[in-house]
Copies of this chain bind each other. A is one copy, B any other.
Amino acid sequence: MSIVCELCDVRAGDILVSTEQLRVILVDDANYPGFCRVIWNAHVKEMTDLSEADRAVFMQAVWKLEAAIRAVMQPHKMNVASLGNMVPHLHWHLIPRYTDDAHFPNPIWAAAHGNADQAALDARRNLLPQLRQTIISNFAS
């Protein structure tokens, strides 16, 4: 029996950027337009299992992505996290947060208070084409 890890499939998800070592995907989350992930291609569990050079490559991608999300989505705060309890394959969550979102000021993993501002959410969804373009160009340069 082989153990299948969903993040080992390098073709899965809405991929915006793909390199030999990692990929950037746009997450499909109704409450969090602009939520992106950076996923390491190799099946590695912890950041301190990577070499220092690989960690630097990974974090450079995280900060390049954060800069693009901030520029386009103009969040109140960025949330950045590497958890992996369910899928122990290194990936970073980058989540633009707003005072009117479904969980603010709690982390998105807390219970939703459910009173997100729908008009603000729609306005943010409309920014997604621009976010895609900005991420793709930032990583190309």
Instruction: Give the residue of B46, B79, B82, B84 whose beta carbon is less than 8 angstroms from that of A85.
Output: B79
A70 to B46, CA, bound (A): 10
Report the copy number of this chain in the oligomer: 2
Residues from chain B with a CB closer than 8 A to the CB of A107 are: 81, 83, 85, 107, 109
Question: Is A47 part of the binding interface, using a Cβ–Cβ cutoff of 8 Å?
Answer: yes
Question: Which of A4-12, A18-26, A59-67, A124-132 touches B?
Answer: A59-67
CB–CB A77/B81 < 8 A: no
Residue of B nearest to A97 (CB): B85
CB–CB B67/A85 < 8 A: no
Residues from chain B with a CB closer than 8 A to the CB of A46 are: 66, 70, 77-78
CB–CB A86/B105 < 8 A: yes
Residue of B nearest to A93 (CB): B81
Residue of B nearest to A56 (CB): B56
Question: Is A104 part of the binding interface, using a Cβ–Cβ cutoff of 8 Å?
Answer: yes
| A6 CB to nearest B CB, Å | 14
| A115 CB to nearest B CB, Å | 16
* Residues of chain A having any CB pair with chain B under 8 Å: 45-48, 55-56, 59, 63, 66-67, 70, 76-86, 88, 97, 104-107, 109-111
